Structure 1
Amino acid sequence: MSTTNTSTDTDTDTDTGALVALLDLIDNYPGAVALRARSIELLAAPPGPVIVDVGCGAGRAVAELTEQGWDALGIDLDEQMITIARRRRPDGRFEKADAAELPLADHSVHGYRAEKVFHDLADPTAALTEAHRVLTPGGCIVLLGQDWDGFFIDSDHPALTRTIVHARADTVAAPRAARRYRNLLLGTGFTDVQVEVHTGVFTDQTLLPMLTGIAHAAAAAGAITPGQAAAWIGDQARRGQTGRGFVAIPLFVAHADRR
């Protein structure tokens, strides 16, 4: 596998590179490390069986699963993400596929994990039906993600902040999928569904790229003006620089059994 930088000047490559950089930043945060460990613990499978990580991105969770003794397979629909994952983790297994059409036989995996994925799926039910198909009886599914209406951001302009958060949420395929995890799992045949909530709190500049992104998305959607976006981003940057920022993001972790 080539170790050269595969980025080009296309918009798609730039967007993917920015996303990977942001995910790397967040994934190294102590709370994120602990949450991945918790998700692996909830899979409750002994080392050895196949675990599929759907929406694997750059492959960090796949590497951690493999290190702990599982036969981990990373799946992502984004070919550039798969390329990055293979370059970073040449010993890992990665395949390009749709969450609703997994390249796996019936009852062939013992664990299914998906992190920050279901909000991007137009039909989460189809993906969970597919998860139910590939999981062996007794297998476990673990879903992690945030509700895109549920970002709590301190600001001197709360009405503007609400507008920005909701406008960004409206650009997502299924922005409220995380609050629906329990009912989605029950509706597709899973049992013993449990949901945990883990809240990440950020007071520095860690999430400034994300805050910048949601403000720009709100402006692009016409919900706010570019000037309002710039002023809001400037306020959040100043808060972060002085340790006076406050962003809280509840992350929902749902796990269930396949009977």
Structure 2
Amino acid sequence: MSADARPTSAFHADNMSDSMTGRLVGALDAQAASAGVQRLRAWAHSGLAAAPGERALDVGAGTGSETQVLAAAVGPDGEAVGVEPNAGLRAVAEQRATEAGNAARFVDGDALALPFGDASVDVVWCERVFQHLAEPQRAAAEIARVLRPGGRVALLDTDWATTILHPGDPAVVAALSSCALATAANPYAGRRLLGDVTGAGLVVDDIGSQALVQDHRVVTWPLVRMLAETALRRELITAEQRDALYADLAAAAEQGALHMSVTMFGVLARKS
């Protein structure tokens, strides 16, 4: 890792190989196709209500899908900018916006040091960024800094402690859940959003949530195997327990009785 890598952002280009960036784009596209994500995003955009002529900021823009939504809302007299520290994701976002004829633009930047002046932005969108930050309260303070009085923000994030996997030995499932918690810098990001927002001096207008429920007929094997193998390496489970879990999940999927989910939370707030 180079000396100037941003340790606060696991998505920064210096912290991620090209192949990992490619896999991340695929993962982000799959998440965007989730009915639960789409419902929570629709709720948040409705509450945020970006209007023509406003300046909108998307913190952690990823592939730029929501920056494009903001650009369409603010229209030709407004401006929508996506801040994304990963050069590979930025390139994808720029290409997709160009192909769509969308005016969204993208810049390099970090959630802890937004490249915008004080009180210069009308609306901010920030989705699934805080879970990657060891100091999310600093990012909340940055959002509050760039918002104009009356400006609005939509914060959406996952709470990994809400992960449910069924069926399976409860002790084995708990071991996999502990590994899931260990993969994020801030695994309880969803439940902490309110404290981050109010700590930054913002006023909460609404709170929402959505369980992201996987297809009950298909096991998400890449994720399950990654967590199970991690639990095995840490000696939290045995190989026999791992294999039994795999068998239980496969059998449940065949019967259409599998349950895999995690909950995302959203907070809508404003600067007084």
Determine the structure 2 residue equivalent to 1:244.
Answer: 257
Q: Which runs of structure 1 show a deviation greater than 6 angstroms over 4 or more consecutive aligned residues?
A: none
Matched, 1:166 2:197: no
Alpha-carbon shift at residue 60 of structure 1 (Å): 1.1
Percent of aligned positions that are identical: 31
Q: How does 1:29-48 map to 2 (within 5 A)?
A: 29-48=34-53
RMSD: 2.3
Matched, 1:126 2:138: yes
Q: What whole-Å deviation, never above 9, does each CA across 1:202-259 have from its counterpart, x for those lacking one?
A: 2133744433443344445554456755654554355335432111222111111111
Mapped partners of 2:219, 2:83: distance in 1:
27
Change over 3 Å in CA distance of 1:16–1:241 after alignment to 2: farther
- Partner secondary structure for residue 19 of structure 1: helix
Determine the structure 2 residue equivalent to 1:15.
Answer: 20
Determine the structure 2 residue equivalent to 1:7.
Answer: none
Q: What whole-Å deviation, never above 9, does each CA across 1:102-135 have from its counterpart, x for those lacking one?
A: 1111111111111111010011011011001101
Where does structure 2 lack aligned partners over 5 or more consecutive residues? 1-15
TM-score for both structures, normalised by structure 2: 0.82
**What residue identity is the alignment partner of 1:75?**
V
Where does structure 1 lack aligned partners over 5 or more consecutive residues? 1-10
Q: How does 1:195-234 map to 2 (within 5 A)?
A: 195-202=207-214, 203-205=216-218, 207-219=220-232, 223-224=236-237, 228-229=241-242, 232-233=245-246
Q: What whole-Å deviation, never above 9, does each CA across 1:135-179 have from its counterpart, x for those lacking one?
A: 111011111111111101112212111111112212311111211
For 2:268, which of 226, 235, 255 is the aligned residue? 255
The 8 Å contact of residues 167 and 223 in structure 1, kept in 2 or not, is answered as: no
Alpha-carbon shift at residue 58 of structure 1 (Å): 0.9
Matched, 1:84 2:92: yes
For 1:75, which of 80, 83, 98 is the aligned residue? 83
Change over 3 Å in CA distance of 1:94–1:207 after alignment to 2: farther
Instruction: Number of aligned residue pairs: give it.
Output: 249
The 8 Å contact of residues 51 and 111 in structure 1, kept in 2 or not, is answered as: yes
Determine the structure 2 residue equivalent to 1:8.
Answer: none
Change over 3 Å in CA distance of 1:18–1:226 after alignment to 2: farther
